[in-house]
Amino acid sequence: MKVGLEHYLIVSALLFAIGLLGVLIRRNLLVIYMSLELMLNAANLALVAGSRFNGNLDGQVFVFFIITVAAAEVAVGLALIVALYRKRQTAHVEDLTSMSN
Amino acid sequence: MTAHDALFYIFAGLTLVCGLLVIANPFSRNPVTSAMFLVLAIASLAGLFVLLNAYFLAAVQVLVYAGAVMVLFLFVIMLLDLKEEQRRRARSWTINVLSGAGVFSVAAILWIFFRSMKNSQLDRSSVAVVEGATLPLGQLLFNNYLLPFEIVSVLLLVAMVGVILLSKRDLR
């Protein structure tokens, strides 16, 4: 079977599910952040595949913007994690329950 | 099977296996290992981008993600000196809920994808092959998408100022 748009979309969906499960099962904030990156990359793959098989470049420009925003988001998020670590000496989500109850 | 198809299966398998090892590595819970497998997953995604003729994006993916973002991640991991993540005994209902969530998300995403593909008017057998090289992408970026481009530059500035403010020692 020739590799077409369907194959790339299935890979993208599986990668997104892996990222989602990573957010659900891991307790380390940094690994949760990496799983978020995986989900963003899955969306990028779907956009690039759509752009290739529809014959226009707009999807790739969109991916370009997503990569830029993701870089900014990672910088801000990691700065938040470092600030949190300074205050609470932890980056594990089970230790950050002061807002529960 | 052509070389393109074989390369697709290699890169797709590598991406998925490395992605799985990022979130659930049976040998190590160390975040550095997760970061290294994330680098591998991102590099094989860049390979998939090359197969899709998105050459510029493949280069940007390696430079920005595997380069800048991962260096930032590793820097913070080594700065924080985290204690080992506890391996929790998984309860059976947790496993059921998680596998349900995974299957549901894959099914929902694929349903959206394939329904929109069925509804699209495009005849995909006769589509011209576009090459995402630097020149056509740059022309598109600076003609049709000039305003978003400028807004993104402002966003980067805002992020930079925000990060500097957050990293100050006396955070009030």
ipTM associated with this complex: 0.91
pLDDT of A101 above 80: no
Confidence of residue A67 (pLDDT cuts 50, 70, 90): very high
pLDDT given at position B8: 94
DSSP reduced 3-state for B69: helix
User: Residue A54: its pLDDT value, please?
Assistant: 84
Contact A23, B24 (CB under 8 A): no
Identify the DSSP state of A47.
Answer: H
- Residue numbers in A near B30 (CB within 8 A): none
Cβ neighbours of A53 in B, within 8 Å: 124, 127
- Residue A47 Cα, gap to closest chain B Cα (Å): 11
Measure CB to CB from residue A30 to each of B5, B31, B65 and give the nearest one. Answer: B31
pLDDT interval class at B123 (50, 70, 90): low
Q: Do A85 and B155 touch (CB under 8 A)?
A: no
Interchain proximity A8–B52, CB inside 8 Å: yes
- Mean pLDDT computed over B13-33: 90
Is a pLDDT exceeding 70 seen at residue B125? no
Residue predicted with more confidence, B150 or A86: B150
Confidence of residue A96 (pLDDT cuts 50, 70, 90): confident
Please classify residue B156 by burial: count the beta carbons closer than 10 Å to its beta carbon, then call 0-12 exposed, 13-18 middle and 19+ buried: middle
Q: Which residues contact B42 (CB under 8 A, 6 or more apart)?
A: A37, A41, B61, B62, B65, B66, B70
Residues of B in contact with A37 (CB under 8 A): 38, 42, 65, 69
- Residue B149: pLDDT band with limits 50, 70, 90: very high
Dump pLDDT digits (tens) for B31-61.
899 999 999 999 999 999 999 999 999 999 9
| Integer Cα distance of B155 and B159 in angstroms | 6
pLDDT of residue A8: 92
Q: Hey, are the CB atoms on B85 and A92 less than 8 Å from each other?
A: yes
* Chain A to chain B Cβ contacts (< 8 Å): 224
- The minimal CB distance from A82 to the residues B23, B56, B167 is found for B167
Q: Which tens digits make up the pLDDT trace of B73-100?
A: 999 988 887 777 666 666 778 888 888 8
Does residue B64 register a pLDDT over 80? yes
Please, what is the average pLDDT of chain B? 87
pLDDT at residue number B15: 95
Lowest-confidence range among A39-53, B3-17, B45-59, B113-127? B113-127
Give every CB contact of residue A10 below 8 A, 6+ residues apart in sequence.
Answer: B110
Assign residue B130 a region (left: φ > 0; alpha: ψ between -120 and 50; beta: otherwise): beta
